Amino acid sequence: NAGVTQTPKFQVLKTGQSMTLQCAQDMNHNSMYWYRQDPGMGLRLIYYSASEGTTDKGEVPNGYNVSRLNKREFSLRLESAAPSQTSVYFCASSGHYNEQFFGPGTRLTVL
């Protein structure tokens, strides 16, 4: 099992460009999450999906949209990137005991 996978690993955007971060899990988990982590800071929840077909805002949703494509996949879209969105983005899924399993992250720089 690959666990949680994310693409791309690295991305550089110019202000105003758009992009989609992809996440997939093969553990048959219902819940999936997107976090961002800025240098020296804790994880902040952007959006989550409790189950296929549902999505909800987290702590810092502004500037982002998400799609729960199916049970496996949960994507995060930046419609018009801003320098303040420079961060490391982690996708996670939640297991039977509500423990979280994380993907390797996407390192995004917005110039």
Partner 1 sequence: RKEVEQDPGPFNVPEGATVAFNCTYSNSASQSFFWYRQDCRKEPKLLMSVYSSGNEDGRFTAQLNRASQYISLLIRDSKLSDSATYLCVVPASGGSYIPTFGRGTSLIVHP
What residues make contact with partner 1 under the rule CB under 8 A? 31, 41-43, 45, 48, 50, 56, 58, 88, 90, 94, 97-105, 107
Nearest distance in Å: CB 69, partner 1: 18
Tell me: cis bond preceding 83? Omega within 30 of 0 counts.
Answer: no
Nearer to partner 1, 17 or 101 (CB): 101
DSSP 85: G
Residue 31 amino acid letter = S
| Closer Cβ to partner 1, 76 or 103, answer by number | 103
Smallest gap, in angstroms, from Cβ of residue 99 to partner 1? 6
For residues 2 and 99, which CB has a smaller minimum distance to partner 1 in the complex? 99
Burial class (CB in 10 A: 0-12, 13-18, 19+), 104: middle
Rounded CA-CA distance 11/86 in Å is 10
- Least separation in angstroms between residue 5's CB and partner 1 is 11
CB of 20 to partner 1, least distance (A): 20
Q: How far apart are CA 65 and CA 61, in angstroms?
A: 8
- Whichever of 81 and 91 has its CB closer to partner 1, that residue is 91
